[in-house]
Structure formats: C-alpha cells, structure tokens
A and B are shown apart, each in its own frame.
Chain A
C-alpha cells in the first residue's frame, strides 16, 4: 500500500470513529435527559386541608383585587395580571409553609372556585382577555 493510500484509510477510520463519537454524544444527551431523577415527592394536602387553603385564598382575594384596581386603573388585563402576581406569591408562601407542592395549593383554589359557583364580586372566576401593555421600557 502506498503512503497516500495508507493515509486515506487512516482518515476513513478516523471519520468512522468520529461518526461513532458523534452518535455517542447524542445518545449520552438523550440518556442523561431521560434519566435525571425528578424532585422527591412531597406530602399532599388532605381533602379538609384543601378546603381550608381554598377558603384562605378566597378571603385574601378582595384585598388583592382592590390593590390591583389602583395599581392599574382602567386596565382590566393588567389588573388581572397584577392579581395573578399577588396570588402566586401567596400560593408559593402557603406551599412552603405547609411543605406541599405548589400545584396542591392551586388545586385547592380551583376546587374552592368550582364549589362557590357562581363566584360573586369582588371575587372573580373570570379573566380579562389578554391585552398586554404596549410599553415595557
């Protein structure tokens, strides 16, 4: 075999090894993503606790609504957005305080809304249609 032919074979082998390495990188990415362990499961709210949490959120709602009204006067979507921020903050705190997943607290609020149908003002079971503010800077 000539030097050139040897070199060509060597590079062909290197290319094959490269393709294998590339495939290995892809497989590693896939396996890593598929096998990362989720966060350990935490305790859930009991039925009674969900009712309590739902009622506690309902009791807070008029205050958050009134605050939103003045933070964004005349802007219904921004008021709901502001309300969502206040509610989320409360939900995170409540979940932390009770050491339960956040979605458990949201579930409690959802169940309370459905059990109070139709929800009356100043509380709301509706949301203003999305109309984002045109200014952000």
Chain B
C-alpha cells in the first residue's frame, strides 16, 4: 500500500517539528558536507589569507592554553597587535576554547560543522515563522545552510565568513522581539555578539542592513498593526537594539577604537555582469571560475512554486532582487552598491558579490514557500499530486546535489604539511606576509604584515635583534628578560642614568607599567625609567577590551533581570516598554562613565603616503612649482614637485600639493599622465596618498600627495607630467579645470613638470 500524500505530509511535518529528528537530519547533512574539511585538518591550507587567519587563531589558542591568559594581545603578527581590535580575528568567540583544546586547525573543521548545523536550524526557524510551513522550512534549510560560499570561504581559510549562517537567527529574533517576545531580543543580541566575536567585516554590517529591513517589515505587517501591538513593538525593538549594542561592546568598542586610529580605505568600482552573478550563484562549481556561491538551480524551480503563495512571496522576492542588484556592484546603473558605500562602515566593503549570500537566504525562503504551497495542494487532484511528487523528488535530489557542490568547493584547497613546532624563546623576525603560518610554530613574530587595513605598526621594529628588550641608550645599562607571556612581560633593568626600555613590539595605549611611564617611540613600545635597578612589569590591560567585556556582562545581566521579572510578574513586567529600554540603556551609561573615568591615552591616526612620508604639511618647499589650478569642485592643485630626471635607481618621485575647501563627491580622483616619446604612462589614483578620498580630506589643510613612477623602461627624451581630476568611480569624465583667475584650461589638465630621461648607457 502506498502512503497517501496527506500521510507523507503528516510524516514530514512530524519530522520537521520534532527537534531531535530535525537536528539529526541537519547534523548528518553537515557531517557529510564537512567530511572533506574534517579530513584536511592534518595539513595546512597554503593560501596566504589562510596563513594569516590561522596565525591569529593559533596565537589566541596558545595564549589561552599555554599562558592561561585571555587573547587580548597577539605578539606574533604584525609586530604585536590588539587581538580584539583586529576585525578578522575569531579569538573573541567561544570557539577559541575549542581551538585551545584541539589546536586551531583541527578545531576549524569542527566549528564549521557546528555553524552548518546552526545555519540550517536557524533557517528552519526563520522560514517556518515566515512561511508557516514546517515541511517547507525543513526541505529548504539545506539550500541555505549548505550554500557554496561557506565552502568556498573554507577553501581560502576564511572560516569567519561562516558568521553569515547566523543571519536567519537574527531575522527570526528580530521578528520575535518586534512581536514582544524577550527571547527575540536575546537572539538578536547573542547573534550579533557571536558574529562580531567570530570576526570578518562583512557579516555584521550586511546582517544589520537586513535586520533593519526585517524590523520595519514586521512593524508594518498586518498582524502587528491590526492587533495594536505596534507601539509595544517599537519599544521592544528599541530595547533590543540597545541590548545588542551592550552585548556586542566586548568587541565593538575595541574595533571602533582601532578603526578610528587606523581607518580602512577601499576604492575601486567592482562590477559584475548579470551573467557573472548568475554563474556564481547557479552554476555547479565544476571549475574554479564559477559557482562560488552555489545555490541549487533546482531550488529555484521550487521557488517558482512560491507564486502560489502570492503575497507571502513578494517580500523575499523583492529582497532577493535587491541582493542581486547589490551583487552586480557598479555594473548596474544606477548602482545600489555605490549608494550603499556612501554610508559609514559600508564604504569599506570591497566585494559586492557577497550579497549573493543573503540572496540565497531569500531564494531559499521562496523555495520553502513554493514547496509548501505545492504540498498543500496535493489533495486537490491528480495534477497537483504529481506536481507535489515531483517537488519532493526535486527536493531530495537537490539536497544531495547541494551537499556534493559544497564538498567540491571545500575540496579546492592547496594543502601543505603542518609546520612542526620548535621550542625556543619568542623573538620577532622579518617574517613573510605570504606565509605567516610558518612563524608561530617557530615562536617567531612576523613583522611583515598583510592585512586589509593599515595596522598601526612601528617602522622601528626589527627582525635581527640580539634581544627583544633593550635600552634606548645602550650605554645607560642593561636589560634582561625575566618573564615573557603575550599579555605580561617582566624585565630587569639596571640603569646608571634615566633612559627608556624598548620592547620590540608595537605600542598600544592599553600597555601599563609597574615602573616609569609607558611611551610610544615612533610607534614602538617603550617605558621611560629613572636611574637604578628596576623590575619592570608590563601588562596589557586595554580599557576598551576589559571595559567592553564589563558592559557586555551588564547587558546580559539586564536581559536576565527582565526575563526574571517577566516570569514573576507576567503582564505587569517592564518588557516591552519604556522601563525595558531604560534597563537596556544602563550598560551603555556605564560605558560612558568608564570612558570618562578610566583614563587611557588615545591612539591618533598618523596620515602617511605610501612612501611613509607625512600627508600633511604646513608650507610648500622652496623648490615646489606653484600651480594654483582650480576645478569645478572645491579642490585646488596648489603646487607640484617633479624632478628633472629619474634618480640613480630609475625612480621618479612626484609630489602634488592639494587643498580641499568644500564638499567633494567620493568618486573624485586624481589622474596623472606622463606623456613621452610616442607613448604615455599613468599614475592615476582615487585615494590621496593611499589614505583618504578627497571627500574625507581635512578642509583647507595643505595635503602632500607623494607617489612615484619607475622610468626603467622609458624611452630617452622629454616626458611631460599632466595632472587633472576625474570622476573615477562614476562616468569617468574629467572635472573642468580653470586657472587661478577663472580661465578654462584646455583639456582640463595642468602640466606640472618635465622629466628628461637620459639615453641608456651602451652595454
């Protein structure tokens, strides 16, 4: 006897709604999908980013397991780094404990498995809430949870992108909170805190965007409006936002503080045609160029069924469309991604295609809707029965293909033998930015640093010192290391006169000394000391990390208090309402008090050109050629320094002096053409000194924009240097140029100098 469709539906429903069975299904799928990664952990991913992120995690794990300290300071990368302030580290997540127990490599695959389960379970809850169908949510969960990007990210060592898998939890929690459920606030706060702790600069801002949309969507939805719970929803969401801020402060405060002192800048106009976007999303990853976000086309067929659900399908369909629009970057006209980049934080996003991850979420929601709509109609006749049968077959086959796609992508990794540890005292070495994972096992810090943001580093760091702790004035006495740990150092100093103890690590305002005063010596960590014998104890106690953790603890305490009051007082409890908002605001008030009462020096950004010279200057040098060139925007080309010939190494250093007097669009950049015998070289740059756009430049300050060209292969003769401005991230048009008295300049460019390349010496 064949089971009837209604029996099948009932069984599917029972499996979906029985937590144990559902999690077993997700756990098994995750295990099969992650089997390839689980089998790789005896070796090391050789991609350069994987080296860096592995070094971060292993440093955190070693700090916990070997030294019994919290992973606050990481001395092994970039000459010493504030681990909580570096956006890509995962050490502020509880998963660091697993890394401490198993080692970073082995823990990574287990964490991946956990996140895959979390992603599928989160999607199930989100989609069930949205579609009302447990069966549809169960079937579509693997389409999102096992989407290709997590596997692609794994193959490059970017495990922290698994944070995207928390997005459905955040959306689910937002709606629950807006409907007045306290656990919704806890889910949103916990989800964002975990995403932040787990690192990466994409999941948090992108999730925040969709959470904001979800909040609006819930508030304007008919059930909330009609029931009159709109006002309560606003209070609940306000309190949720404050709780989330508080709960995230253990990481958010260090991050904001660090990014203020070392802002990340991202230029360029990344563009993807619709075809590329489609191939990235829908094509099976049969070769290295496609399918990095693989989302089964079969799921789209199910998604087509969502038209049966009509109004419920509209929102996810619109959001999926918006994500595709964003993912195409600057190729779409108008570009939504370009508009998004005008917002704070979003301006640092480099890869628009990552919006295909939330696109997958909303497409999976449509698939859940379509599957549910077909199943519901299966009793209406033979055709519907067939259609629902096909949908079931498609879903089962689709899940299998999704798992295979995941494994294929995760298997695209270059593995090398894991480095063997050498037991020796810590020291800095020059290191290598492309192979950082080799230095930590040697207990060496790599000064060579390759991050996506300008890590505050000292140029005085060295990889050849006989000892890492030494006196600034070598004749003043001796320094001897007594204890070395990541967050605490002890050094015995005998000084015959006042001097400074220098540590071969970067300075950070969080370092405190038991004797003397902690100072920055051109960014190097130092302690000024009086004459005499001292045991100097240096401890890393950053206000933002310790204070932020206290704020987060207070936020969770506040949430627990509200939960207790709700259970005890029921309807008379402060949640949701203005008193709940006040409770949620308290941790942030405490943070303000800490900010005022806990003094710590502020690390100020030092704005430099790519050659290390300062970007600001008080006056023009005597040999600068005055230009006073004006443009249609309030930017002036004040002067230029162009050498008459390349230097002995064949390098042509050029300096342009700029002044910005008013508002300038982000897209305005500098173009530099060097026209010589029969050809032209370019040195265009949209970012002044590689540091900021004209839009963000200090007003009326004299900016010194230094760059250089290599004349090694230039033909002998005269080369004219021509400079102008253009809309680099826009239509590419030149800005109209004028002389000081307002006369238009032909071709909208200024000739700022001539370089004579001498004939090449005969061999």
Interface residues of A (CB under 8 A from B): 11, 14-22, 25-26, 28-30, 32-34, 36-39, 41-42, 66, 69-71, 73-78, 80-81, 84-85, 87-88, 91, 101-103, 106-107, 109-110, 113-114, 116-119, 124-137
Contacts and interface: CB of A to CB of B under 8 A. Distances in A.
Interface string B599-630: 00000000011111000000000000000000
A21 B107 CA distance: 21
Contact of B38 (A29, A66, A125): A29
Contacts of A39: 42-43, 417-418
A77 B78 CA distance: 12
B464 A118 contact: yes
A74 B442 contact: no
Contact of B442 (A103, A119, A130): A103
B318 interface: no
B165 interface: no
B419 A101 contact: yes
B643 interface: no
B452 interface: yes
Contacts of A78: 610
A137 B420 contact: no
A34 B459 CA distance: 41
B81 to A, nearest CB: 10
A74 B610 contact: yes
A21 B28 contact: yes
B719 to A, nearest CB: 14
Interface of B: 14, 18-28, 30-31, 34-35, 38-43, 78-79, 102, 106-107, 109-110, 113-114, 265-271, 350, 416-420, 422, 427, 429-435, 438-439, 441-442, 444, 447-466, 523, 608-612, 649-653, 686-687, 690, 706-710, 712
B20 A22 contact: yes
CB-CB nearest 4 A-B residue pairs = A74-B708, A18-B20, A25-B27, A39-B417
B464 A116 contact: yes
A interface SS class = helix
Contacts of B114: 26
A19 B23 CA distance: 7
A126 to B, nearest CB: 6
A87 B268 CA distance: 29
Contacts, number: 250
Nearest to A26: B27
Given A73-B708, A84-B434, A18 B463 contact: no
B20 A19 contact: yes
A32 B39 contact: yes
Nearest to A116: B464
17 contacts: A11-B14, A14-B20, A17-B21, A20-B20, A29-B30, A29-B31, A32-B39, A84-B433, A106-B438, A110-B463, A117-B465, A117-B466, A119-B464, A126-B462, A130-B78, A132-B453, A135-B687
A130 B690 contact: no
Contacts of B448: 80, 84, 127
Contacts of A91: 432, 435
Given A16-B20, A88-B434, A129 B31 contact: no
A18 B112 CA distance: 21
B83 to A, nearest CB: 15
A135 B268 contact: yes
B458 to A, nearest CB: 7
Of A11, A69, A76, A130, the most chain B CB neighbours within 10 A belong to A130
A27 to B, nearest CB: 10
A128 B461 CA distance: 9
Given A32-B39, A33-B41, A110-B442, A15 B21 contact: yes
A102 B416 contact: yes
Given A18-B22, A135-B687, 8 more contacts: A18-B24, A32-B38, A39-B418, A70-B712, A80-B433, A80-B448, A126-B459, A131-B690
With most chain A CB atoms within 10 A of its CB, the pick from B22, B441, B448, B457 is B448
Contacts of B438: 102-103, 106
A60 to B, nearest CB: 14
